[in-house]
Amino acid sequence: MTPDDSNGSEPRFQPLTVPRRTVMGPGPSSASPTVLRAMSLPVIGYLDPAYFDVLEEVESMLKEVFKTEQRAFAVAGAGSAGMEAGLQSILERGDKVIICSYGYFCERQVMMCERLGAEVIELRTEWGKAFDPQVLKDALREHADTRLVVSIHAETSAGTLHPVKEMSEIAHDAGALFLTDVVTSLAGCEVDFDGWDLDFAYSGSQKCLAAPPGISPVALSERALDHIRGRKTLPSSWYLDLSLIADYWGPERKHHHTNPVNMVYGLREALALALNEGLETRWLRHERVAAALRAGLNAMGLESPVEPSARLNQLTVVSLPKGVDDVKLRGQLFDLYGIEVGRGLGQFAGKVIRIGLMGESCVPANVFNLLNALERLLPEYGYETGKGVGTGAAAAQLAAEPAPLY
């Protein structure tokens, strides 16, 4: 249509609108308004010296959040891009890799490694429990030629936290490198890249960092980078080659791909929010708000299949009472209350809902809104809960152990 053809009529397409939700699923979390504002700043070139200043600041912030003095940068793509970048950069065809599998996203690591032609050793353990490091130690005795050990720190499908510090030590004692997923844990609970002697850790922007999805913060040890540069064969993916991405983020600023400029703006602002709040304060906020949620759920008689010592604060898995249809319940929460929670995956499919309290979404008001909604909805399924029982217990918990203001 030309300007003369319009005759002053309405445009074919109106500005995009989407419903406002209280986002309490396994990810993404709600994005901070200041992050969204930063993403609307003018686009500049990815080789502009002014943009290099932004990259330098982001790199410094990432080092602080990951707690590392080694390499830290961002891979353009979701957390799965960070995952695949680490696996395909470190592993060569025929290399032996041990994958500690205790959830749905561990299985994704298995699939990626199989596609790379690696020899995959799977250590499958029970969902809902923390991984036993002794299992890894025994496996490495049997497979002494293992190149890489892979784990997930905070497994959102199972709602569990795992002892990656001990696992990393065991891997290095056996001469292997160690890679871990910190997509859900980074900025939500302790992650200490150098203190835990990790080789590669990848995360996502969309969870405890409270930015939109689409960029994967990573940390890389000098030991792992030396290994990648000394490979016999080039990594299978040019785009996800960590050595090339590291060269662009490094002082030489070697051209690689077109960096997602405005996503980096958003990441910068998200990191600033986390560091201004203080990492330990942020971790405590996630701990205290999750404790209030659990207190409310327990008062309503709702249980979790996760052992208490392994529970994530960022993601709570709740078993559904008999007769409660998870699809219908999640639909009612959407339609009647504007609340999003997650469905069960893998072994938990159809049996649980998963409640996320991450970043911008990790506030007491969200806990009260959800508990109030559940108190009203569950009696429709024949599961009676007293009015105000859950919200009252959550309030009492917060009175005893207040969450830091956000």
In 3D space, the residue among 323, 339, 317, 316 whose CA is nearest the CA of residue 384 turns out to be: 323
Q: Percentage of the chain surpassing pLDDT 90?
A: 95
Helix (H) or strand (E) holding 90: helix 79-90
Cα(337)–Cα(174) distance, integer angstroms: 52
DSSP state of 345: -
What residue segments make up the domains of the chain, in order of their start?
Answer: 33-276, 278-400
Q: How confident is the model at residue 1 (pLDDT cuts 50, 70, 90)?
A: very low
pLDDT digits (tens, 9 = 90+) for 388-402: 999 999 999 999 999
In 3D space, the residue among 24, 72, 63 whose CA is nearest the CA of residue 274 turns out to be: 63
**In this structure, what token pair is assigned to residue 60?**
């410094």
Which letter, b or e, does each residue of 128-138 get, where b requires 16 or more Cβ atoms within 10 Å of its Cβ? Answer: bbbbbbebbbe
The average pLDDT across 174-198 equals 98
Cα(89)–Cα(134) distance, integer angstroms: 28
Encode 121-148 in three state secondary structure: EEEECCCCCCCCHHHHHHHHHHCCCCCE
CA distances from 380 to 126, 144, 246, 319, 385 (A): 33, 56, 55, 17, 11
What was the pLDDT predicted at 5? 54
Phi-psi region of 392 (alpha: psi -120 to 50; beta: other; left: phi over 0): alpha
The average pLDDT across 195-214 equals 97
Phi, psi of 144 (to 5 degrees): -70, -15
DSSP state of 150: E
Sequence letter at residue 101: S
Cα(203)–Cα(216) distance, integer angstroms: 5
Cα(226)–Cα(32) distance, integer angstroms: 37
pLDDT digits (tens, 9 = 90+) for 371-387: 999 999 999 999 999 89
Average pLDDT, the chain: 96
What was the pLDDT predicted at 6? 55
DSSP state of 214: S
Q: Does domain 33-276 have CATH number 3.40.640.10?
A: yes
What was the pLDDT predicted at 4? 54
pLDDT digits (tens, 9 = 90+) for 93-103: 999 999 999 99
CA distances from 346 to 32, 150, 183 (A): 31, 19, 19
Cα(30)–Cα(406) distance, integer angstroms: 14
In 3D space, the residue among 29, 5, 365 whose CA is nearest the CA of residue 183 turns out to be: 29
The average pLDDT across 23-40 equals 95
Cα(344)–Cα(156) distance, integer angstroms: 10
May I ask the CATH architecture of the domain 278-400?
Answer: Alpha-Beta Complex (3.90)
Residue 116 has pLDDT above 90, yes or no: yes
pLDDT digits (tens, 9 = 90+) for 293-332: 999 999 999 999 999 999 999 999 999 999 999 999 999 9
pTM greater than the 0.85 cutoff: yes
The average pLDDT across 129-141 equals 98
**In this structure, what token pair is assigned to residue 308?**
């208490």
pLDDT digits (tens, 9 = 90+) for 264-300: 999 999 999 999 999 999 999 999 999 999 999 999 9
Sequence letter at residue 285: R
